[in-house]
Amino acid sequence: MLDTQQVSDKKNEIINNLSYESRSKINNLLGYTNLLEKTKLTEQQQNYIDTIKASAYNLTAILDNTDSDSLENKNDFDKKVNFDVVSSLNRIVDFYNIKIEIKQKSNIPNKIKGYPIKFKQVFLNILDYYLQDKTDDLQIAIEIDKKIKKDVIDIEFKIYFSNINDTRKNLRNKQIGLEVTKTFVKKCGGTFDINKKAKSVEITLNIPFRQEENKQIEYKNTIKTKSSNTQKIRLSEAKILLVEDDEINQEIIKIGLSKHVKIIDVANDGKEALYLYENTKYNLIIMDLQMPVMDGFITTKKIRETEVIMSAYTPIIALTANTLHYDKNICIEAGMDEYISKPFQMKELLKAVEKLISVRP
């Protein structure tokens, strides 16, 4: 039993390390992709970027141990926007070196409101899954139809796979992406059905979308920080300490925040962070959790102990790629104010920074 437990512990350690390293690299990939997205792009280049992001988020979902919440806007990766569903589907199909016929049974509005990147995730998962063992005579067709209910448009997608090789479709490790996709569609209020026959598969997707909207909703922040000792300032005057050992992450965060805040100092580990903290007044600290020399938990504890004596308080945002060990409650109990898991979008980090220290101009 002890030997079995040791083997199990070793496997868990490998999985945890793989998850941590993978999340860090995905965060780097998405960070530079988001920076690239802010440059002048052609429509085709934007489509390439959307596909890279969709694939990265799919990989994140798999790392989340098939937790469907990762596709349910867990990290606020995707916002509802007006987009062309049919054109988006055609661009997805163009990436595959195989003929896929698309038929419209009814007229689909050019612009409807939904999640374009998650929409791409769903179809990339389905097509990737059934094209893993494609045969030479494989045929794929997609039919699109719609039903309008008040301000909701239910769009039905029927995906037909004919002459399919179905010899390994019951293997669990091959079904991860498909299972995540099924649950995501259901949590969006849609349906996902599969009808299998000898050498064919028919998938029926019903996904609800909203009618095109032009009105913008202003976000109002009503959440207060933990301590009344936190000084609210203009974001442009803020001094931030970034505690992060990954140089690429350092660069991405500095580039993303430099246009909004006054100063960003960088510490490579907790020991450096304490030295800078003791010698400089910071308005906020962004703290990675897993670092050499001194990790984020110990560093935060020492900062909070110092603040008790000084009657001061500096908001701390936890930043980690290891979601298997750390959750938001653990970080809050350790003295941190916010928790952001990698990969993340810069607007998510900026939103957390604004919430904790920014005062309205």
**Residue ranges covered by each domain of the chain:** 16-211, 235-357
Position 20 scores a pLDDT of 65
Name the nearest CA neighbour of 164 among 140, 128, 195: 140
Under DSSP, the state recorded for 334 is T
pTM of the model: 0.50
- The DSSP letter of residue 225 is P
Burial class (CB in 10 A: 0-12, 13-18, 19+), 61: buried
* Closest to 64 (Cα-Cα) out of 26, 106, 10: 26
For the domain made up of 16-211, the CATH class stated in words is: alpha beta
Average pLDDT over the chain reads 78
Are 16-211 and 235-357 the same fold in CATH?
no
317-340 as b/e: b if 16+ CB within 10 A:
bbbbbbbbebeeeebeebbbbbbb
Work out the pLDDT band at 265, boundaries 50, 70, 90: very high
User: For residue range 332-352, what is the model confidence (pLDDT) as tens digits?
Assistant: 778 899 888 877 778 888 889
Higher pLDDT, 234 or 14: 234
Q: Which of 56-60, 69-73, 157-161, 323-327 has the lowest mean pLDDT?
A: 69-73
SS3 324: coil
Give the mean pLDDT of 150-163. 86
Question: What SS3 state is found at 170?
Answer: coil
In one-letter notation, the amino acid at residue 193 is D
| 311-340 tens-digit pLDDT | 788 999 998 776 555 567 778 778 899 888
* Residue 42, C-beta contacts closer than 8 angstroms, at least 6 positions apart: none
Reported as a single tens digit per residue, the pLDDT across 272-322 is: 999 999 889 999 999 998 888 898 989 999 999 888 887 788 999 998 776
pLDDT at residue 345, as a whole number: 79
- Degrees, nearest 5: CA angle 120-122-125: 105
Instruction: Output the DSSP codes for 125-146.
Output: HHHHHHTTT--TT-EEEEEEEE
126 vs 7, 8, 159, CA distance in Å? Answer: 34, 32, 9
Residue 237 scores a pLDDT above 80: yes
Token pair 């045929």 is found at 139
**% of the chain surpassing 70 pLDDT:** 78
Return the CATH number of the domain spanning residue range 235-357: 3.40.50.2300
Mapped onto helix, strand or coil, the DSSP state of residue 248 is helix
